[in-house]
Amino acid sequence: MVYLTRRERFNSAHRLFNPKLTDEENNELYGKCANPNWHGHNYDLFVTVKGEVDPETGVVINLKDLSQIIKTKVIDKLDHRNLNVEVDFLQNTIVSTENIIVAIWKELQVELDKTPARLSKIKLVETENNFAEYYGD
């Protein structure tokens, strides 16, 4: 069993905001991250899959296929977008790093289940000081 990781990147606007809370409560909870005029990040997304090495090809999954799945299902929907208002699979979600990776997992797992690789881990780096990881459970 070998683990293979592909990095893809996206640059997005977002804000942390719970619509059930007042503006004051949001500000108290999230500070400047709640700014109603948005802020943004360069996100680094690391998708790790696991699988047996195919003796015919020497790889777990063709990296081009893995990259293409991530781009089509995730990057094309997030890159140069507003995460709060433009992403179908993030509707009604507080777009924290934690919630984004759980949502990305669901998008990718469906597609990766059609391949010989199994989704193992999603890591999302928001800044050089902060990142989140999810293993699907």
Tell me the closest approach of the beta carbon of residue 73 to a copy of itself, in angstroms: 17
Residue whose C-alpha is closest to residue 67's, from 11, 9, 8, 2? 8
Tell me the closest approach of the beta carbon of residue 119 to a copy of itself, in angstroms: 15
Site string for a copy of itself, 81-120 (x = CB under 8 A): xx--xx------xxxxxxx-xx------------------
**80 tagged catalytic:** yes
Site string for a copy of itself, 28-47 (x = CB under 8 A): -x-xxx-x-xxxxxx-----
Counting other chains too, the contacts that 37-40 makes at CB distance below 8 Å and 24 or more residues apart are 38/13, 38/14, 38/82, 38/84, 39/13, 39/14, 39/15, 40/11, 40/12, 40/13, 40/14
CA atoms of 57 and 128, how far apart (whole Å): 36
CA atoms of 61 and 85, how far apart (whole Å): 33
Which residue among 33, 86, 111, 133 is the active-site one?
33
Residues found near a copy of itself in the complex (CB under 8 A): 1-9, 11-14, 16, 18, 20, 29, 31-33, 35, 37-42, 48, 53, 56-60, 62-64, 79-82, 85-86, 93-99, 101-102, 127-135, 137
